[in-house]
Amino acid sequence: MIDEEKKAMNFVTLLIQIVVAAVVLAPVLYVVGKLFVGHKAKFSHAVWIGVLGVIIGAVVGFFLSGIAIVGTLIMIVVWLVLITHFFECGLLRGVAIAVIAGIIYLIVSLIISAVLVALGYPALPSLW
């Protein structure tokens, strides 16, 4: 019974992460992508980058949960491959897009968390 609840919670957490990637990360990726690659950056591509990144990250995390450093390195490569593929750019621009989008995403996430806490909600989804 507890395993079923845990599986359901993991699935809900994954869905929340996908929605956050589509709602928060995609616009950030799109704007930063537009700055670096111009017309090649489309909003639908930014959504695909975010959603695929979250799903692949969940799969990698599942299989490599015991060796976090390897999973982290694989995910860095995956995010760079997704960015360079969808935005049709080189590795250097892909790294620049990833770093700047990551910093902006972190700032936006902190602002959203602060607003949630100010409204009386917990900032972490696992506490809902």
b/e sequence 3-33, b meaning 16+ C-beta within 10 Å: eeeeeeeeeeeeeebbebbbebbbbbbbebb
Interval 87-103 mean pLDDT:
96
pLDDT at residue number 21: 79
Higher pLDDT, 22 or 127: 22
For the chain, the average pLDDT equals 87
- Each domain of the chain, given as residue ranges in start order, spans 2-127
pLDDT at residue number 128: 45
Interval 114-126 mean pLDDT:
77
Q: Please state the φ and ψ torsions of residue 127, each to the nearest 5 degrees.
A: -95, 0
Q: Which pLDDT tens digit goes with each residue over 69-78? A: 998 899 999 9
Interval 86-98 mean pLDDT:
96
Higher pLDDT, 3 or 41: 41
Interval 102-108 mean pLDDT:
92
- pLDDT at residue 7 greater than cutoff 70: no
Would you call 128 helix, strand, or coil by DSSP?
A: coil
